[in-house]
Amino acid sequence: MKFVSAQEIYRDPASRKGLPAWTYNNDELTQLEMEQLFLRHWRFVCHVSDIPNPGDYQCLEMADERAVVVRDQYEQVRAFHNVCRHRASRVVGEDKGHCGKAFICPFHGWSYNLDGTLKNIPKADSFPPIDKQEFGLKPLDCEVWHGMIFIRFGGTGSSIAELFAEAAEEIGLYRIEDMKPLDEPYQYKFNLDWKAVLDIDNEGYHVPIGHPELFDLVGASYTDQPLEGGLSRACGVINQRKHRLERNREYVATLPEESYLPESHQQLWIYWGLFPGFVLTLFPDQIEIYQIYPTGNQQSVMAGVTYALPDERAEMQKARELNRDINMDVGDEDIQLIEWAAAGMRSSAFDGVLLSDLELGVASFQNQLREILPVVSLDEKPATGSLKQVNDSMLAKDKVAAVS
């Protein structure tokens, strides 16, 4: 794998200072981030086993956009804008469910086949002639990769398979496509900027102090390894020495020795991240997928879900429970740390951060952000109402500089 070195990441020494405080609390920037990042990059919606039968669907919303993914009558997974072509109602109102053989809009009853084509219009003769091919649900980019369903509201560029190319061999070991949901999805809501949540998630330097139990489990082996193209890998190896904490001892003792994974991966906790806020965690007993994203200024969400291969062994069930308990405590510890750090950044004493070579994930993420939204490198926030324009002109200048 082609990891990016600290020298490359800190090529501009200023990047050790992180992003200016204003970028963590600016409505116009949040709007631009939603538009330029989250509506133009792939978003994970669900796993193929969440929609096993024709007519099963699941929805995803971001800013003003809403998507529905559905399994059609030929078992193919498709994605559409969840927007009726008549007068823009949602065609499905629930987050997930089963719509039978067609979507029937709850407003006036227009119906759509599972391939998105318009099926029927009540009192059709009250409308001028309508081309049913033309008036289908609008399709969205959709990609199923190792059983994970991704959609993209806009933008172009690499497919998920291309973006994850360096990770494909390792991820392929886990047979994710054969997995089933393990627990109910969870959602943490934060009253702070999404980047404040992501910054802590992007580095393992805080593990020894911030997560004593995780440190006891994976010890000093924990490393962050950013790659090119928005991909990053973090990995911890389960300590072979006796663990200090009872729950860790129990987890390691209960993990079944017989595993479908090769020996090289039976003791690893691996975190694959993809810009801007997607994380796939690979444990020996289950996987977890979570996403961090903004829902408004000073509003963000971390939403996650776990999957595992069907395995009835009592020790596997126990190991999965212990894993979940350990990770819930890690999550609680992170929430506290995130809130303290974000509050500190609002203080008059805050004068930027100082990033180490153990926080490459944070710097690498911020470098990618600066490339797409160069406005975040300004020390002072642009005048109200001008942020997008300032960003556009900085981008235009960057383009000219790149050509000359």
What does the binding site for ligand FES look like in residue numbers (CB under 6 A)?
84, 86-87, 89, 105, 107-110
- The residue among 86 and 381 lying less far from ligand FES, judged by its C-beta, is 86
| 89: partner contacted, choices ligand FES, Fe ion, none (Cβ within 5-8 A by kind) | ligand FES
Rounded CA-CA distance 323/247 in Å is 9
Stretch that binds Fe ion, among 247-255, 284-292, 295-303, 330-338 (CB under 5 A): 330-338
Q: Which two tokens stand for residue 365?
A: 């993420």
Give the Cβ contact number of residue 157 at 10 Å. 10
Rounded CA-CA distance 56/44 in Å is 17
| 111: partner contacted, choices ligand FES, Fe ion, none (Cβ within 5-8 A by kind) | none
For strands 96-98 and 180-181, give the pairing: unpaired
Give the Cβ contact number of residue 267 at 10 Å. 18
In angstroms, give the least distance from the CB of 73 to ligand FES. Answer: 22
| 87: partner contacted, choices ligand FES, Fe ion, none (Cβ within 5-8 A by kind) | ligand FES
In angstroms, give the least distance from the CB of 274 to Fe ion. Answer: 18
Q: Which residue has the tokens 């072979």?
A: 240
In angstroms, give the least distance from the CB of 129 to ligand FES. Answer: 18
- The residue among 31 and 111 lying less far from ligand FES, judged by its C-beta, is 111
Q: Which residue has the tokens 């200016």?
A: 20
Rounded CA-CA distance 370/372 in Å is 6
In angstroms, give the least distance from the CB of 101 to ligand FES. Answer: 17
User: CA gyration radius for the chain?
Assistant: 23
- The residue among 78 and 86 lying less far from ligand FES, judged by its C-beta, is 86
Q: What is the DSSP letter of 10?
A: T
In angstroms, give the least distance from the CB of 121 to ligand FES. Answer: 8
Rounded CA-CA distance 384/15 in Å is 25
In angstroms, give the least distance from the CB of 102 to ligand FES. Answer: 12
Q: Are 359 and 344 in contact (CB under 8 A)?
A: no
Cα dihedral: 369, 374, 379, 380 (round 10): -110
Q: Are 49 and 308 in contact (CB under 8 A)?
A: no
Q: Taking CB under 5 A as the rule, does residue 334 contact Fe ion? A: yes
Q: Are 120 and 111 in contact (CB under 8 A)?
A: yes
Q: Which residue has the tokens 């020495």?
A: 241
- The residue among 58 and 300 lying less far from Fe ion, judged by its C-beta, is 300
| 110: partner contacted, choices Fe ion, ligand FES, none (Cβ within 5-8 A by kind) | ligand FES
| 108: partner contacted, choices Fe ion, ligand FES, none (Cβ within 5-8 A by kind) | ligand FES
Q: Taking CB under 5 A as the rule, does residue 203 contact Fe ion? A: no
- The residue among 123 and 242 lying less far from ligand FES, judged by its C-beta, is 123
In angstroms, give the least distance from the CB of 293 to Fe ion. Answer: 18
| 127: partner contacted, choices Fe ion, ligand FES, none (Cβ within 5-8 A by kind) | none
| 381: partner contacted, choices ligand FES, Fe ion, none (Cβ within 5-8 A by kind) | none
Closest CA to 60 of 12, 36, 94, 111: 94
In angstroms, give the least distance from the CB of 392 to Fe ion. Answer: 35
- The residue among 58 and 202 lying less far from Fe ion, judged by its C-beta, is 202
Cα 322 to Cα 91, 255, 269: the distances in Å are: 40, 10, 14
Q: Taking CB under 5 A as the rule, does residue 199 contact Fe ion? A: no
Q: Which residue has the tokens 């759509």?
A: 112
| 334: partner contacted, choices Fe ion, ligand FES, none (Cβ within 5-8 A by kind) | Fe ion
- Rule CB under 5 A: which residues touch Fe ion? 334
